A and B are shown apart, each in its own frame.
Chain A
Amino acid sequence: MQKLNNPEQLKKIANSLRKVIVEMVHRAQSGHPGGSLSAIDILTVLYYYKLHHDPKNPKWQDRDRFVLSKGHCTPAIYAILAELGYFPKEELLGYRKINALLQGHTSIHIHGIEMSAGSLGQGLSYGNGIAFAARLDKKDYKVYVMIGDGETQEGQVWEAAQTAGVHKLDNMVVLLDRNKIQNDWFVEKTKSIEPIADKWKAFNWHVIEIDGHDVKQIMKALDDANNPAIVNGKPCVIIAQTVKGKGVSFMENNPDFHGKAPNDAEFKQAMEELNKLG
């Protein structure tokens, strides 16, 4: 696929996808807008700038794999996949509806989705499985796994981090969406995960810390994660500091919009704000 490397253009795409996210959740009157909006800049740069993939050939053997472990953030990934042509945009209208393609949580029956997720903590183990398969098959594709920060409270994440660290899975890149809010409340006040960077370092990972809404920083982090001279045979985690609900004032840093849809008035305001972003 043709790759984009113009930061302004990438930011523009991300902001237009923000509108698609809010529309999907509003239309379905359910879904998870907060973590979708925090992740969308990272995902946009990943898909448009870095990932080796082909929307017309979703099972291309040499493609890079992206696993969305925080599988509730379907509005973000579906918005991107539809925009890229993995499936018709009309499918977005059926999001979370019966007999429709787009399930509430990711499903491998959808072109471009590599894992049926939904239960947190499992995506890194699953991604490791794909990374082990690449090693056995002597393939050089990369495996990217996006996890949430609340998700790292799951013990299995650390089992998997240890596995990747011990086996030096340097074809593995974790994207940690550090948006600081989980379902009920703030991560820090629920069960603090700090010092998060030190934890990954202790598990033998190369750690990169960035602002997850700064496109240039995301581009550089993804380049570095692919640079053997930088990761030095280790798996790499990009800890991206983000804002939950980024782009919609009343959703930003608001635990209420982890898994709640905007009502009609809120939707109108949200779209007005997002339109101003361009």
Chain B
Amino acid sequence: MPEMIATRDGFGKALLNLGRENKLVVNLEADLGKSTKSILFAKEFPDRTINFGISEQDMITTAAGLAYSGKIPFASTFAIFTERAFEQIRNSVARVNLNVKIVGSHSGLLTGDDGDSAQCIEDLSVYRSLPNMVVLSPADAVETEKATYAMAEHVGPMYLRTGREKIPVLFDANYKFELGKGVLLRDGKDVTLFATGPLVSIALDAAKLLEQEKIYARVINIHTIKPIDKDLIIKAATETKAIVTAEDHNTIGGLGSAVSEVLTEYALAPLERVGVKDRFGESGKPAELYKKYGLTAEEIVKHAKKAIARKRV
């Protein structure tokens, strides 16, 4: 069994390390530091932490003022509550191209029994639609940690998606995170599985199931939803001629849409999308929800076979 760590823990660890290394980093939170894990930073650096209480619009716009003044603000809360400040993110952050780092935890059905008000299934979609925004959706705690360091390096507005539940650790400490580049995890010739976030380890499971049926799947981890790794998608479409996307997000607007946009414009190949099929979730254990809503290895296998059957001869 692989080690299990939540991606929010990867963020919390990285933010603390950034605080120690870089005095420009400021931590903004909205009464959810214990949940997002920004509390680790807050405890060690109270002077560089601002807790806004429950006022996300104020938090995001204050982050804009801090960024304008040369600071590197990380503003974190639940993914869904970052959207409370969507218009502020649009007008005061993205539009002005300010160096604000927004971190949304508790994304997707993985959030579990808190239910559908907290299960954010559209954040990738809404933030992807904003010019200047970089959108990150890492696959495990290690990748999240490295992505957080990359956020402090990159100048410009960024959104990082993290999750509540523990998921398998896929990468070791030597893993190198490269912004905007997909990560080939397993090669194959028959179909490509593009996955993001917690669906990456599930896609790897699906590839193993497919192999038992002599179907060889390529598995690519897409941690940067925007800018999407266009070249890697074109290559996969050209070489394997069938594509599946998998994400804990609405199939509208997220990874599935981003890949689809590249395929229709540059390299037509049949695409099957695994994700939350344009509906809201409900309370339940993450594993139960993944089963009920079709975010499983078996479901990816089914979609892979469909995509292969639709291949152009």
Contacts and interface: CB of A to CB of B under 8 A. Distances in A.
Interface in A108-152: 108, 114-116, 118-119, 121-122, 125-134, 136-137
Nearest to A127: B65
A128 B62 contact: yes
A126 B62 contact: yes
Name the prevailing secondary structure of the B interface residues. helix
B50 interface: yes
Contacts of B70: 133
Contacts of B64: 122, 125-126, 129
A167 B47 CA distance: 12
Contact of A126 (B55, B65, B71): B65
Nearest to A145: B65
Contacts of A118: 91
Nearest to B47: A136
A254 interface: no
B68 A125 contact: no
Contacts of B231: none
Contacts of A160: 58, 61-62
B87 A119 contact: yes
A156 interface: yes
A68 to B, nearest CB: 14
A159 interface: yes
Interface in A204-250: none
B50 A122 contact: no
Contacts of A121: 57
Contacts of B73: 129
A108 B59 CA distance: 20
A125 B71 contact: no
A85 B48 CA distance: 37
B48 A125 contact: no
B95 interface: yes
A153 interface: no
B69 A133 contact: yes
B95 A159 contact: no
A30 interface: no
A163 B55 contact: yes
Interface residues of B, number: 29
A121 B52 CA distance: 16
Nearest to B56: A159
B57 A130 contact: no
A128 B26 contact: no
Give the most central of A114, A131, A137, A163: most B CB within 10 Å.
A163
A122 B66 contact: no
A132 B65 contact: yes
A130 B69 contact: yes
B63 interface: yes
Contact of B68 (A122, A129, A163): A129
B18 interface: no
B88 interface: yes
B55 A136 contact: no
B240 interface: no
B130 interface: no
Given A116-B96, A122-B91, A132-B50, A163 B58 contact: yes
A176 B92 CA distance: 21
B147 to A, nearest CB: 24
Contacts of B61: 122, 125-126, 129, 156, 160
Given A116-B95, A118-B91, A122-B91, A133 B66 contact: yes
A163 B66 CA distance: 14
A131 B58 CA distance: 14
A207 to B, nearest CB: 21
Nearest to A154: B57
A234 B223 CA distance: 45
B282 to A, nearest CB: 30
Interface string B25-68: 01000000000000000000001101011010111111111111
A184 to B, nearest CB: 20
Contacts of B59: 125
A127 B95 CA distance: 17
B91 A119 contact: yes
A166 to B, nearest CB: 9
Contacts of A133: 65-66, 69-71
Contacts of A167: 50
A126 B92 contact: yes
A156 B58 contact: yes
18 contacts: A115-B68, A116-B92, A119-B87, A119-B88, A125-B57, A125-B60, A125-B61, A125-B88, A126-B62, A126-B64, A126-B65, A130-B66, A132-B62, A132-B65, A160-B58, A162-B53, A163-B50, A167-B50
Interface of A: 108, 114-116, 118-119, 121-122, 125-134, 136-137, 155-156, 159-160, 162-163, 167
Interface of B: 26, 47-48, 50, 52-53, 55, 57-71, 73, 87-88, 91-92, 95-96
Shortest Cβ-Cβ A-B pairs, 6 listed: A129-B65, A133-B69, A125-B61, A159-B58, A159-B55, A126-B65
Given A119-B87, A122-B64, A129-B73, 4 more contacts: A122-B88, A125-B59, A128-B65, A156-B58
